Copies of this chain bind each other. A is one copy, B any other.
Amino acid sequence: MTIKVAVAGASGYAGGEILRLLLGHPKYLSGELEIGALTAGSSAGTPFHEVMPQFPQLADRVLEDTTPEVLAGHDVVFLGLPHGHSAEIGRQLSDETVVIDCAADFRLRDKGEWAHYYGGEHAGTWPYGIPEMPGHREEIANATRIAVPGCFPTGATIAMLPAVAAGLITPDIAFVSVTGVSGAGKKAAVPLLGAEMMGNLRAYNTSGRHRHTPEIAQNLSEVTDEDINVSFTPVLAPLPRGILTTASAPLKEGVTADAAYETYRAFYSDEPFVHLLPEGHQPQTQAVLGSNMCHVQVEVDGRAGRLVVTAALDNLTKGTGGAAVQCMNLALGLPETAGLPQVGVAP
């Protein structure tokens, strides 16, 4: 039996990353997974190789329109559409189709937060695709509708989940996440030009304006009754891919460095895609490039009285497309790690 997969938004970075992983997936290599429709918005009608030259195998494909008709008849449909487009499409696909949405549409539970950060009608909430969060793996495995998390919330959540769950900190957390430029998407805009971004660093959507802020708070709230306070500062840096998240928060009294490290070790000991580094070593994004891994370190800053956590992931892999394929694996009952690299392309 062949699994037939469509990718809506195949001209974008999320869609491209999903395809890259699918073409290396053991089910594809054995002929049991087939790439069906590849759709786009304004690029519909364009030969696929013109927008994605890295896929010689799909060089004869042409991008189709993103319509329910084109996407019908697939076992899995990945949606890599701009925010606000997934709800309508999702509604019209069969309930038996596994629909995995990379946009924000179905991530938030709070209508007020949705209205404040995205505007328009709240489409609803789908099972949220971080299998490493307690209970989520099982929920995803039983779902046919899955919301892939944002790239920043993935790193921030993995960084602080054990600390919040175990009460190591007062959850008044300052996150600063440095990101490669692909996180901004594939849209023609002067501030995203190579000449504007190379040799340059700048923060943006600071002071709680970034739409990932409420998503981070929502995730961490799942494992505590305390109020979560999130300060989130994203910084653009000149590399194509990668997010390095730094997080710090006031340490609760009596928490030692050893206890903190052991909490993290135990929390992630069975996770195939989270790697707590040996003590004394810091995560780096190069070590996870193109992989589905998140590398983590946790330390105590005794002088400042804070817990300091750092986490590295590839925003397009574990941060988007890899998480999407990981969720597909779970939803289809395949091995969770199938087709997902665990070694980064370093150097």
Q: Once bound together, how far apart are the Cα atoms of A164 and B189, in whole Å?
A: 38
Q: How many copies does the complex hold?
A: 4
Q: Indicate if A86 sits at the interface (CB-CB under 8 A).
A: no
Task: Let me know if A237 is at the binding interface, CB within 8 A.
Answer: yes
Are A54 and B195 in contact (CB-based, < 8 A)? Answer: no
Q: A277: CB under 8 A from chain B?
A: yes
| Highest count of chain B CB atoms <10 Å: which of A208, A233, A286 | A286
A301 to B54, CA, bound (A): 26
Per-residue CB contact flags for chain A residues 265-299 toward chain B (1 = under 8 Å, else 0) read 00000000001011001111111111101010001
In the bound assembly, the distance between CA atoms of A232 and B248 in angstroms comes to 10
In whole angstroms, what is the CA distance A176 to B246 when docked? 8
**Residues 119-168 of A at the B interface (beta carbon under 8 Å):** none
* Proximity bits, A182-205, B CB within 8 Å = 1, else 0: 101011111011111111111110
Tell whether, in the assembled complex, residue B284 and residue A240 are in contact, meaning their CB atoms are under 8 Å apart. Answer: no
Q: Flag if A206 contacts B308 (CB, 8 Å).
A: yes
Q: Which residues of B contact A286 (CB under 8 A)?
A: 54, 196, 199-200, 240
Cβ-defined contact, B193 with A186, below 8 A: yes
In the complex, the answer to whether B230 meets A304 with C-beta atoms within 8 Å is: yes
Query: Chain A 298-336, CB within 8 Å of chain B: the 1/0 string?
Result: 011111111010101000100000000000000000000
Q: What CA separation (Å) do A240 and B59 show in the bound complex?
A: 27
Q: Is the CB of B59 within 8 A of A206?
A: no
Interface string of A7-29 (1 = CB under 8 A from B): 00000010010011001101001
Residues of chain B within 8 A (CB-CB) of A97 are: none
Would you call A80 an interface residue if the criterion is a C-beta within 8 Å of the partner chain's C-beta atoms? Answer: no
Stretch at the interface among A61-69, A70-78, A103-111, A337-345: A337-345
A206 & B299 in contact (Cβ 8 Å cutoff): yes
Give the chain B neighbours of A229 by CB distance below 8 A.
Answer: 304-305
Contact, CB under 8 Å: A238 / B194 = yes
**Which of B235, B242, B299, B316 lies in contact with A199, CB distance below 8 A?**
B242
A4–B342 alpha-carbon span in the complex (Å):
21
Decide: B248 and A231 in contact? CB cutoff 8 A: yes
Q: List chain B residues, Cβ under 8 A from A52.
A: 346
A174 in contact (CB, < 8 A)? yes
Are the CB atoms of A346 and B194 closer together than 8 Å? no
Q: Kindly state the separation between the CA atoms of A299 and B201 in the bound complex, as whole angstroms.
A: 18
- Which listed residue, B198, B207, B241, touches A308 by the CB 8 Å rule? B207
Min CB gap A112→B, angstroms? 12
Q: Which B residue sits closest to A196, measured CB to CB?
A: B347
Q: How far apart sit A314 and B54, CA to CA, in the bound complex (Å)?
A: 12
**Contact status B213-A303, CB under 8 Å:** yes
Residue of B nearest to A303 (CB): B208
Are A289 and B347 interface neighbours, CB within 8 A?
no
A sample of 15 more A-B contacts (CB under 8 A), given A194-B240, A208-B304, A231-B304, is A23-B342, A23-B343, A49-B278, A50-B281, A53-B281, A178-B235, A180-B195, A180-B201, A193-B194, A202-B282, A202-B285, A203-B282, A213-B303, A231-B308, A241-B345
Top 3 nearest A-B pairs (CB, nearest first) are A194-B197, A207-B301, A202-B284
A–B pairs, 20, beta carbons within 8 Å: A53-B277, A53-B284, A56-B275, A56-B342, A174-B176, A174-B248, A176-B246, A178-B235, A192-B194, A194-B198, A198-B239, A200-B346, A201-B243, A202-B244, A206-B299, A207-B300, A207-B303, A231-B308, A290-B345, A316-B347
